[in-house]
Structure 1
């Protein structure tokens, strides 16, 4: 096998150090609920949601453990970890959207659930839908602590949320 030129060998060693996440698979390491509840805007880009690299997962592990139990230690949660609320909240919010098909019907919306927080991301062609109405709709679930809404309006060229890689679809 021919030997690679020195500059190419150095490049192959240096590049991964400069871009550690390059080529890493993004994954939902913590199994955070991530659901799509509306899909009316065909060119709406899918949000990154809970997808992270293995390196990011290792950084977040301690923080998530600490943040998850602090709710219980402060007497604000009955469950010992605030992340334990996420799956039931996701089921309840999904059911609420399913029961009200007319609400935000001209939108494409994805929801991410983490530690009783709900991120609503996507696109809306529905001028009647407001951030306040969307927040109130999601807050029907009593265990929701906070709702964060990042919507791209029609005509906006840039998404206000991080995007999933094309292979995540």
Structure 2
């Protein structure tokens, strides 16, 4: 096969997913902590979490840089970038959940994922109708160095959840 034909074939292979409308693979490009903490409710759709397309990643890059260091500039953070806290917050979140297993065991009757992102804890997934949402989210707000806790929880696993899905 000639070099010209090899180049054309290579280019077609490279762009064919785009031409066919295939969706780009979502990846955790910022390496934000993301982990599942419970799995009691069946058929709960998995959130995309911090996994984004390359295009989304590029559109977020300026915000991540600017927002990541504003707490340092304002004198509210001991570390120069909010993202520098995330691994420590993820570890503290796991310890907090272990403690909550004895003091608020109802949280385990759920299917939940956690994303830690610039000192925020995002909890996504499915809960039962009697899940102690407010108490659970308030308890998670006690995690060291966490600035905010956001809950995107659904008590209807068969319906569209309040978060983007991983596919």
Structure-2 change in CA distance of 1:155 and 1:92 (3 Å): closer
List alignment gaps of at least 5 residues for structure 1: 1-12
1:116 counterpart residue number? 119
**Post-superposition offset of 1:16:** 3.9
Secondary structure, aligned partner of 1:100: helix
> Which has more helix, going by share of residues?
2
Which aligned pairs between 1:61-100 and structure 2 lie closer than 5 A?
61-100=61-100
Contact between 2:29 and 2:57, CA under 8 Å: does it hold in 1? yes
2:109 counterpart residue number? 106
Moved more, 135-144 or 108-117: 135-144
**Post-superposition offset of 1:126:** 5.5
List alignment gaps of at least 5 residues for structure 2: 1-14
Aligned pair 1:160/2:165, yes or no? no
Structure-2 change in CA distance of 1:74 and 1:146 (3 Å): same
Secondary structure, aligned partner of 1:123: strand
2:139 counterpart residue number? 137
CA distance, structure 1, for counterparts of residue 61 and residue 20 of structure 2: 23
**Post-superposition offset of 1:98:** 2.3
The aligned length equals 150
2:6 counterpart residue number? none
Structure-2 change in CA distance of 1:52 and 1:128 (3 Å): closer
Secondary structure, aligned partner of 1:121: strand
Contact between 1:41 and 1:124, CA under 8 Å: does it hold in 2? yes
CA distance, structure 2, for counterparts of residue 98 and residue 35 of structure 1: 15
Aligned pair 1:127/2:139, yes or no? no
